[in-house]
A and B are shown apart, each in its own frame.
Chain A
């Protein structure tokens, strides 16, 4: 009976020991293992300081990031004060002599006019003020001056001005990277926007043709189908929200299949197995319909007499597993791999690739399509969708919001498996 008590007492002690050991190990790593000559040590220290200042700058040039960066960069100079400015205002000042901010901003104005590094003298009535001279170097991104790095100190020296310029260049590179990050995020969002909601023109054409064939023989059916078509297109073209619920996706698939059925009649058989627990799961908009369309295409259109399509949605705890399978002609796995890499020309398999990329961008590389296929063996496509993911909501209140899912940029192709 005393076992649990002992355990309860021992646990915090153990945790404290673990933490202490961890800390010691980190200290040791910082000081102990990198002892070299004085030059090496200086180099190491400089690089370490610079790399410590990089993370805040990578988030762009704002008051907050500038404050953090300046504090970390000042040791590089060993001068009295260091400041970062935007084009017209001070962002952060580290060190004494803050009352000279106006003088510094004046030199930044001159810098903006000339585009060159400025050195300037500071007149101060206070004899104890350690700021006497200063140098301001431009921060440029894409050839445009965003702001300036201002170094202030007691004396003037050419090396100090050059160091200022070098550090400013380094900061500029970080800001350029930040700009790049921003562009990339924007690109991904634009890509998702472009990827969403592409219903295939063939389908529109085929559906209308099939409906036309009913207009005389069965006008009632033709009317129903047209309404079905209208509902389907309205859903596909809707503009708000990047996510929807699985229930709505299934409705869309049903409309789609109704239209397909108009064309193929009894040749198509569909089996559906849905666990009702997963119906409220938020899924990327139009992620299921392309898979079903693909199944129809391979299950029926390529000259097969009868086709069977199975759609399964199962509850797997924190994830929902959705499977779309057909018993059609299947595909050479290598060809599928090429299609998913986008190497097989723009016409082939846009739908699958599109769904795959969107899933990877929203949920990460673990959640891409898993495709099992072989020539003549049918195809089975499986997706696993987490029931919850930060930023993914099926019906965001208010206006359309940008996608805020974790955007994994490195979206490699999925690995098709041979059945």
Chain B
């Protein structure tokens, strides 16, 4: 990738964000456009902002990578990410807005009148936020590494350096406009190159490659392995190696790999002639990678129990969206419940439209960038495709555009998450709450995930996001659904449910990341916890609430009425700002107790 273009594009994305941020305030200097300045955000704009904040590096880079590596069954990721908003729309959006809560701890407080429940929800928000920040930082490292050649940790650090001051200085000023701009940037950055890529694919002599075949190198390809990998070779193949293969040093000599598993040391460069089938990468823990069953779902993919993992993914993403702190915060901007619902419908359309694009990149990535399967950095598929498929200056420009979009993806989600996490840390968890604690809270909110991300090494971006969704689904989904739709919820019940549901999911995630269990059902259960942890959360919440029926908060009836009664359709006095200009209707201004006057 051309570094100059890439750096210019990333800088342009950052500058564009900052400019939109500072220009986003509505300023009026005359009283006549006073109303323009004080008009609430229309649903379409807010929906764009929510989508902009939601479409993270996992959506932008991760999905295409997963689809390229593991096949069509990964399409559940984009489906789930979008469908989560359907659940949000039907069950949560309007009542949540009417509750007046700004964050999830606020909701727990408003509904259950309990400081303890508030605090537990706060801890979980921070946990989910940090878990979600990890893949954003990794996405940043990946993108910036490809664009500038910098090491992986540099990207995470750069995000921290950009986001922390912006958030600590009081957030970006016109945050809604910024996020809406980011959404447009992300869609453009995938859509425009996609058109060129499709044209190039059509122009290619062999566009209709059988997708279920193991991919082959289309031309003479040179691959440098950054970390030590084990390759499974199905048919004998020839390559030229520089480095260590199977423990033997090679220095630019020919090499023939027999069927079986071969270890390639970090730093080794392999050169394959055109037409060679791509060796599969063994995931290191003995499981089979699913490259050969790419186009058939549930055909023994990356895990031993594909049906179970698919349900795990569905549970986590469908129910987890409502528990993401940075998404809910944006709903507060809606003036009322009806607008919140309207916004969610538009978000569904915007997000759904966006998710049509990454699978396309995944497909093309499998055909045109198969070496990524070998090195395991499939998350880079989106970024390298224009160079591979279009090439030349145009390819460089398109690559730069995608880099800018990826930059927007991790910046917008990261800043939204840091803002939410810092807000909860400063308000609920750090001792002696107050405005002054926001800045140290911001530092803490960034420092922890950056440290973990630099220290923990690599996680597939989309998978890590899936874990964050699982924790959100097991803790906040029961809290929101039962809190909104069941009068019997008590504070002890909610706390117990949050702790068992969210706690067990968090433990499973921690064990998955740390990796003491690598095989069989235990591993599958831990890696996809939502199937069992969501029902566990619900069940605990319901049973403990039933057991503590005498602790139903006294304000439950009033809170339920507030959550479910629609706001009056028109304000009792028509706000002057909605009146048409006066010259248009000088004689018919509605007054109470007076008909139209002539």
Residues on A lying within 8 angstroms of B by beta carbon are: 1-5, 8, 220, 224, 227-228, 230-231, 234-235, 245, 247-248, 250-251, 254-255, 257-258, 261, 269-277, 279-280, 282, 314-319, 321, 366, 384, 387-388, 390, 392-398
Contacts and interface: CB of A to CB of B under 8 A. Distances in A.
B28 A280 contact: no
A314 B173 contact: yes
Contacts, number: 157
Contact of A388 (B37, B103, B435, B438): B103
Interface in B48-107: 100-103, 106
- Of A228, A272, A392, most B-chain CB atoms within 10 Å: A272
B100 A394 contact: yes
Question: Could you tell me the dominant secondary structure of chain A's interface residues?
Answer: mixed
A397 B565 contact: yes
B561 A387 contact: no
B38 A247 contact: yes
A105 B173 CA distance: 68
Given A315-B173, A315-B175, A366-B435, A2 B38 contact: no
Interface pairs A-B: 10 shortest CB-CB: A5-B514, A4-B514, A388-B106, A387-B102, A250-B38, A388-B102, A318-B423, A8-B510, A317-B423, A254-B34
Contacts of B515: 1, 5
Contacts of A8: 507, 510-511, 514
A271 B27 contact: yes
Contacts of A251: 35, 38, 575-577
A277 B41 contact: yes
A275 B100 contact: no
A273 B25 contact: yes
Contact of B335 (A234, A279, A315, A318): A279
Contact of A272 (B34, B103, B113, B514): B34
Interface string B102-128: 110010011001000000000000000
Interface residues on B, range: 35 or more
Given A1-B514, A251-B575, A388-B103, A275 B562 contact: no
Contacts of B582: 224
Contact of A255 (B102, B106, B419, B576): B576
B274 interface: no
Contacts of B24: 275
A279 B543 CA distance: 40
Interface string B24-43: 11111111001101111100
B427 interface: yes
Contacts of A224: 582
A271 B29 contact: yes
Given A273-B25, A276-B41, A317-B438, A247 B335 contact: yes
14 contacts: A1-B514, A1-B515, A5-B511, A5-B514, A247-B39, A248-B575, A270-B34, A272-B37, A277-B175, A277-B176, A279-B333, A279-B335, A280-B40, A318-B102
A248 B336 CA distance: 13
A321 B170 CA distance: 10
B516 interface: yes
Most chain B Cβ neighbours within 10 Å, of A1, A258, A315, A392: A315
A270 B422 contact: no
B576 A231 contact: yes
Contacts of B37: 272-274
Contacts of B167: 317
B596 interface: no
A298 to B, nearest CB: 19
B26 A276 contact: yes
B27 A280 contact: no
Given A254-B576, A257-B34, A315-B171, 17 more contacts: A8-B507, A224-B582, A261-B31, A274-B26, A275-B25, A275-B174, A276-B26, A277-B332, A279-B333, A316-B170, A317-B170, A318-B426, A384-B435, A387-B332, A394-B100, A397-B561, A398-B561
Residue of B106, B426, B507, B561 with highest tally of chain A CB at under 10 A: B106
User: Which of A224, A277, A388 has most B Cβ within 10 Å?
Assistant: A277
Nearest to B34: A254
Nearest to A367: B435
Given A318-B102, A396-B562, A227 B38 contact: no
Nearest to A398: B561
A318 B103 CA distance: 8
Contact of B40 (A228, A247, A317): A247
B589 interface: yes
Nearest to A276: B41
Nearest to B41: A276
A228 B29 CA distance: 20
A280 B423 contact: no
A290 B332 CA distance: 27
Nearest to B457: A1
Interface string B208-224: 00000000000000000
Given A247-B40, A277-B175, A317-B423, A258 B170 contact: no
B580 interface: no
Given A235-B573, A258-B31, A274-B38, A317 B419 contact: yes
A319 B329 CA distance: 12
A247 B333 CA distance: 12
Interface string B180-214: 00000000000000000000000000000000000
Contacts of A276: 26, 39-41, 176, 333
Given A395-B567, A397-B561, A318 B333 contact: no
A280 B334 contact: yes
B150 interface: no
Contacts of A235: 573
B25 A274 contact: yes
A2 B514 contact: yes
B586 interface: yes
A398 B54 CA distance: 36
A245 B335 CA distance: 9
B455 interface: yes
